[in-house]
Structure 1
């Protein structure tokens, strides 16, 4: 029982040390430039206080949808949720400690079969299974905002859940700027590597980052 409690405490401490936007987050707007190979697109992004996303100025439907999905991925990690709401029903158990000092946290009760590694106050690895696909996310670098950490360099490895065959890999580099009281993404570079080694690089550059004005109270 003590090991179970210790595993929960370790994971909860790391979970609550992530940088997230608080309940007063006003939303923001930004200009966006996307580069992929010889192609460049310009547009605008608006993130509302409820964290819904609006993309404008990009005519190509596939590119617009890709930007929308990428923004949703970024925002998902900044959305605040209590530990009880996200993991209250799960059971935790300590696993092995690796050569870097990260300890494995084994989870039961999670629909996606998630397991983690925690080093210090940071979650450094997430492993999940979603249908036929298994993926592992490894954090390489992070930014300490003073109000929690945010990953700035990480990779995601995708494998067949049944055969463990490598399906692809993505390397991420992210930069954040502080605007007012909040850290907002200002750049993201994604190197998508196929299973046969072909690499496609996509760059998202956000400029003119501005927080939305809170609506006046009637």
Structure 2
């Protein structure tokens, strides 16, 4: 199955500000790639690499991992607690976003109103349960997410996508956390480059590499981490 990486498609029509855009947002939501309900888990080799800064040398650590049918990630062979946590966190974060939940389950208590349209896409203003959240959509792709999560605001811009033939996955995107009251940044902006591959000819598609480049913020220097997942195979 070929991987097609490109920029999100242009909208076929522009929604007028103030219009109900539930149908357009639903189409983009349902176009995201998710795993089939029968997902059985997978395993492989986990490699973590970090570019050296200043007097610090490059670092490389590897171990083994499993992601179970219950989406829980197990990492073995990595003794460093922080690296172990980072690898497990990437696997969990990817898996949790592959869970298939209907539009009604996720957004049934929300309303969606069109805002302005710019180069990123048409703004989707959320009302109801998740009032205060915002999105942008271009064609059938969610190109921006602005959500309140546990007292923090996260803003994600998707720049390019991978077409699996059964929905899209974000390929390059940025992520920034901020204080919801002041808008002040919490940490440096991170740029992600994700590479997904089909585990078997029939799927599911899983992460094979994630490159995270984080800008300097305060006393924290800029950094670059690479997570690679190799020798991938289904469980069982």
Cα RMSD for the two superposed structures:
2.0
- The partner residue of 1:137 within 150, 156, 170 is 156
- The partner residue of 2:208 within 186, 200, 205 is 186
Q: Is the counterpart of residue 199 in structure 1 residue 222 in structure 2?
A: yes
Q: With structure 1 as the length reference, what TM-score do the two structures score?
A: 0.89
How far does residue 117 in structure 1 lie from its aligned partner after superposition? Answer: 0.4
Q: Contact 2:33/2:164 (CA < 8 Å) preserved in 1?
A: yes
Q: Is the counterpart of residue 76 in structure 1 residue 124 in structure 2?
A: no
Q: Contact 1:112/1:128 (CA < 8 Å) preserved in 2?
A: no
SS of structure 1 residue aligned to 2:104: helix
Q: With structure 2 as the length reference, what TM-score do the two structures score?
A: 0.83
User: Which residue is 2:235 aligned to?
Assistant: 212
Q: Is the counterpart of residue 163 in structure 1 residue 182 in structure 2?
A: yes
Q: Is the counterpart of residue 31 in structure 1 residue 74 in structure 2?
A: no
Spell out, residue by residue over 1:177-207, the C-alpha distance to the aligned partner (whole angstroms, 9 max, x if none): 1121221111000011133583110101111
Q: Contact 1:28/1:212 (CA < 8 Å) preserved in 2?
A: yes
Kindly tell me the number of residue pairs found equivalent between the two proteins. Answer: 211
Q: Contact 1:112/1:129 (CA < 8 Å) preserved in 2?
A: no
SS of structure 2 residue aligned to 1:194: coil
Moved more, 4-13 or 197-206: 4-13
Spell out, residue by residue over 1:74-126, the C-alpha distance to the aligned partner (whole angstroms, 9 max, x if none): 112211111111111111111111135x1111111244732100100000000
How far does residue 132 in structure 1 lie from its aligned partner after superposition? Answer: 4.4
Q: Contact 2:48/2:83 (CA < 8 Å) preserved in 1?
A: no
In structure 2, how many angstroms separate the alpha carbons of the residues matched to 1:75 and 1:195? 29
User: Which residue is 1:124 aligned to?
Assistant: 143
Gaps of 5+ in 2: 1-16, 52-57
Higher relative contact order (CA 8 A, sep 6+): 2
Moved more, 144-153 or 43-52: 43-52
User: Which residue is 1:216 aligned to?
Assistant: none
How far does residue 161 in structure 1 lie from its aligned partner after superposition? Answer: 1.8
Q: Contact 1:4/1:92 (CA < 8 Å) preserved in 2?
A: no
Q: Spell out structure 1 runs of 4+ moving beyond 3 A.
A: 3-6, 110-113
